[in-house]
Amino acid sequence: MTNPVLVEVLRGGHVESRHSGALAIVDADGGLVCALGDIARPIFPRSAVKALQALPLVESGAAERWRLSDAELALACASHSGEPEHVATAAGVLSRLGLDVNALECGTHWPTREPVLRGMIARGEQATPLHNNCSGKHSGFVCVACQMALASGREPAEFARGYIGADHPVMREVTAAMSGMTGVDLEQAPRATDGCSIPTYGIPLRGLALGFARLGSGQGLAPVRAAAARRLRQAAAEQPFMVAGSQRFDTLVMQALGERLFCKIGAEGVYCAALPELGLGLALKIDDGGVRAAEAAMAAAAEALLQLDEAQARLLAGYSDLLMKNWNGIEVGGVRASAELRAALSASR
């Protein structure tokens, strides 16, 4: 099946490049509200499902035991830019567990936020696993591990070791939460290793959209899970900076829309989102993995589905109909949601 073009890249008024992809919007009963392209093929959701992976952190009682703040819970759902606040927040969680950066198994990479990176280089500093965009999620996993260890009388640090493995009790809980939310049996699903070394499972866009419809509405969830979902969404809405960072789509859009939209990007062109007021969930994947296209498509979806004020509309249009300038500041083209995507989204309103 060939997926439709969701996003076009223009230069001088001509289409220079094209991004095809697939998109599903469903309600909390799994009813299809919008479908474009192949939404049945399993795709790796990557970091777009961090909020689902963070459910055990709340459900297990770990968040309550260590009194995790909104910022800390939002960071558990984040692909952050490695800014000082992100790093300090992840470090703070570990320190309350009596642990430090050595407990993290996500690997090290430099902050993605340019000015932060430049400052570190200028000061001769080195990156650590705390700068990894997944350090908040991993701190959350370590937290769950400590909670499990204490419940069973084990030594927390020792119990946590290897938490990234698919068969570790922490990861089994995480996988069970994703399976329950999406309605997909992940035992049978394609499996691969994510950038931060935890497993990633192939899930159809339709299942991912259902998971986010449930995350946003709580519908069909056990009370403990519905409460955990609400807690995480509220934390992200209160602390959207923690979910991504300065000048990042997810942060800017959640700052503007609050609890009306929870959205999260994943590597290789994936987006997942919950729209609680509509009881809808959304999942999309750009075939080629392009971030610019994933953001443009996500923005077009939010524009089509939500009532927006002028500032909110302008913010989203800055992504769904993005102007590109060259090194001399000359307008050379843009990135825009395709007419086919816009039409399908309009029809689903």
Per CB under 8 A, residues contacting a copy of itself are 2, 9, 11-14, 16-20, 42-44, 105-109, 118, 121-122, 124, 132, 190-197, 200, 202, 268-269, 286-290, 293, 326-330, 332-333
Closest distance of CB 267 from a copy of itself, Å: 9
Closest distance of CB 119 from a copy of itself, Å: 9
Closest distance of CB 158 from a copy of itself, Å: 20
107/169 with CB nearer a copy of itself: 107
106/146 with CB nearer a copy of itself: 106
- Using CA atoms, how far apart are residues 117 and 125, in angstroms rounded to an integer? 9
